[in-house]
Structure 1
Amino acid sequence: MDQPYSDGHAPDLLPGRLLRRPGGIAQDESFEGVQILDSTLAYQISSEAPMLVLHEGAIHVEGPVWQASHRRLLFSDVPNRRLNAWYEDDGRVETVLEPTWFMNGNAIAGDGSVWHCEHGRRCISRSDADISGVPVPIVTHFEGKRLNSPNDVAVAPDGAIWFTDPIFGIAMPSQGALARPALDHRSVYRFDPETSALARVADFEQPNGVALSPEGGVLYVSDTSVSLGEVPGFKAGSRREVFRLCADHEGKWGAPTRFCRTDKGYPDGFKVDQRGWLWASAGDGVHIYSEAGEPLGHIPLDATVSNLCFGGSDHRRLFIAASTRVLAIDLKA
């Protein structure tokens, strides 16, 4: 007779892991192509590159990150409380962690460990590379007070963990659980895994996405307080911008300055490529900006994009978290 698991369910009653069977990748036939606004972008991506559909049927895809050691894309389905993986070798999608505590952003550290933002437990947690067992909470409080609901996370070249801490996960039941903030600020933080030092670097209305330049000397943070207007009982803020902070030669960070602003939706998540270009999510797809903040192009989609990342075995694929789907488009370089 099967012995029940610790939650009281027999093994044959537990859900399976497979979400997409192995097989070929379909193309989105409705995709009308990449809009090239600056000729330099044409060297990186073709205007006729097809949009690939890797996975469908999620509720809200977030936190995509390429895990090279396993040749897979990890991504969160926040309301479904799942961390899933798309495998490059055969195109299958499996759940690798369920249930999560409303996991959102994810990042891979140099040692292969996976760092997560959890709305439910209101913490930054860590898994080993194989993601075996429950993630271990690492950062839970700031100056003795519980964090709000960490949203996005990035690993700097020096190994530091950067994360944002808005209130979305404690204001939206579908993203976490309702709670009063213990902190009177909404901030971006730097955590040093070697010393466990936690620094509050800058405050925003509602910090959301976070990314760093390739060398780590420039920090990008989006403030999407306008999205609070989507939450019952809250008023929309005024911000839908990406801000930039620069470090001086002593490692001290300057004040945030506005880098770019999206006209449709808001820049939820984004990444910086090796050229220093910012690839940002928005309500109408992905927008690409030069290091100087000049628009280079647009990847139009008929879904709200929440986040994105670069990856694939040749690191020439852009993975896109687009509402209920995981999409991808291949780059030239």
Structure 2
Amino acid sequence: MSELVELQPELTVITDGLRFPEGPIAMHDGSVVLVEMFGPRLIRVLPDGTKETIAEIEGGPNGAAVGPDGMIYLCNNGGCFTPADVMGMTFPGPFDPSTYIGGRIQRVDPASGDVVDLYTECDGRPLRAPNDIVMDGHGGFFFTDHGIRDLAQRTSDLSAIYYAKVDGSHIAEVVFPVEAPNGIGLSPEGGTLYWAETHTGRVFRRSIGEPGVIEPAAPLDTSIVLYGLPGYQLLDSLAVDGEGWVCVATLVNGGITAISPDGSQIEHHSTGDLMTTNICFGGPDLRTAYITLSSTGQLVEMEWPRIGLHVAHM
């Protein structure tokens, strides 16, 4: 059985008033670039909390990453959620087909704010609701397609993990089927891909054979599950720290669940926000964790117990 440690970190609010923040990227100048899913926009938050709009984004921007060309690559869920305000907090509400524009991967020029659709389909199948993204350092990136749950129609997508090139030349489905995949990340050496399924509360892992290629898993190979959370806890986006711990934003039991590389040790860093959606690492010594608290519209920071991880192109 994994050992669980409950922690109550000291959080510092950098800024608030955000419309469901997600996809933070810690920049070298001390700012944090992130999306507001219900903005919808891509913004820069300066160290003093000042907010600057980089680009207005139609649909529903989610995960974000800096590419090898300095451009920002976005997962756009197409506006598959509608904002639901409950007692002053914001939650993802039901799917509304009248406002949905289709899922897509986009490239944003942070200097000009120009937005380009890079991918909208794979092998003739439309992307449904791309959610999170990680660059691999080889000119490409992995991303999750969370899929759509249409309660009115009582349907739910079977979705996939994809690999694509930043130049728009190649996209491929590398894992199928998966159930509402959300966060995605790479181990420090780049040989293991992790992703989190929201509704099952599980973190999966698969080996990477060569850039963009996932090694086949044997039937009934239980090692592909790193950890499954007990009780009613849902999983959102994730980051991997410098010691290989998988740090997953946790919904309902609001906080960051950090899982050791072998799954034997678990930390829960409580934030008090039911919609704790994402984490990234930055600061001069990579010991600062930036966390998005989406129901309350805040970007906060805390000291992380381990050094963070230099992600590709940063």
Q: TM-score, normalised to structure 2's length?
A: 0.76
Shift, 1:188, TM fit: 0.4
TM alignment of 1:39-188, pairs within 5 A: 50-68=10-28, 70-88=29-47, 90-120=48-78, 121-130=102-111, 132-168=112-148, 171=150, 185-188=158-161
Give the alignment partner of residue 185 of structure 2, picking from 207, 211, 219. Answer: 211
Shift, 1:152, TM fit: 0.8
CA shift digits 1:173-225 (9 cap, x unpaired):
9xxxx9x99xx74100011235722121112021111111122210011112x
Would you say 1:254 and 2:216 are equivalent positions? yes
Q: Gaps spanning 5+ residues in structure 1: where?
A: 1-34, 39-46, 227-238
Shift, 1:58, TM fit: 2.2
Would you say 1:314 and 2:285 are equivalent positions? yes
- Alpha carbons of 1:190 and 1:172: their partners in 2 closer, same or farther (altered >3 Å)? farther
Provide runs of 4+ in structure 1 moved above 4 Å.
170-173, 249-252
Would you say 1:295 and 2:265 are equivalent positions? yes
1:201 aligned residue: 174
Shift, 1:293, TM fit: 1.3
1:220 aligned residue: 194
SS, match of residue 235 in structure 2: coil
1:32 aligned residue: none
Asked if the contact 1:157–1:214 (Cα under 8 Å) also holds between the matched residues in 2, the reply is: no
CA shift digits 1:79-138 (9 cap, x unpaired):
2212222113x33222222244311110112332110011224110112242x2331111
Point out the structure with max Rg over C-alpha.
1
More helix by share: 1
Q: Gaps spanning 5+ residues in structure 2: where?
A: 79-101, 218-222, 308-314
Which protein has greater RCO, CA pairs closer than 8 Å, 6+ apart? 2
Work out the CA distance in 1 between the residues paired with 2:5 and 2:9: 16
CA shift digits 1:158-182 (9 cap, x unpaired):
23111111224x7499xxxx9x99x
SS, match of residue 50 in structure 1: coil
CA shift digits 1:136-157 (9 cap, x unpaired):
1111111122211111111012
Give the alignment partner of residue 276 of structure 1, picking from 244, 249, 255. Answer: 244
SS, match of residue 158 in structure 1: coil
More strand by share: 2
CA shift digits 1:275-330 (9 cap, x unpaired):
11111111221111111012342211211211111112432210011122111102
Work out the CA distance in 1 between the residues paired with 2:228 and 2:55: 35
- How many residues are paired up? 267
Work out the CA distance in 1 between the residues paired with 2:233 and 2:35: 21
Shift, 1:240, TM fit: 1.6
User: What residue identity is the alignment partner of 2:124?
Assistant: G
Work out the CA distance in 2 between the residues paired with 1:317 and 1:99: 28
Shift, 1:248, TM fit: 3.7
Asked if the contact 1:285–1:302 (Cα under 8 Å) also holds between the matched residues in 2, the reply is: yes
User: What residue identity is the alignment partner of 2:125?
Assistant: K
Aligned CA-pair RMSD: 2.8
Identity %: 28
SS, match of residue 302 in structure 1: coil
Work out the CA distance in 1 between the residues paired with 2:11 and 2:68: 30
Work out the CA distance in 1 between the residues paired with 2:235 and 2:8: 25
CA shift digits 1:47-86 (9 cap, x unpaired):
7863110121223121111232x43211111122122221
CA shift digits 1:5-57 (9 cap, x unpaired):
xxxxxxxxxxxxxxxxxxxxxxxxxxxxxx9839xxxxxxxx78631101212
User: What residue identity is the alignment partner of 1:127?
Assistant: V
Asked if the contact 1:165–1:207 (Cα under 8 Å) also holds between the matched residues in 2, the reply is: yes
User: What residue identity is the alignment partner of 1:202?
Assistant: V
Give the alignment partner of residue 331 of structure 1, picking from 280, 291, 304. Answer: 304
Work out the CA distance in 1 between the residues paired with 2:151 and 2:281: 29
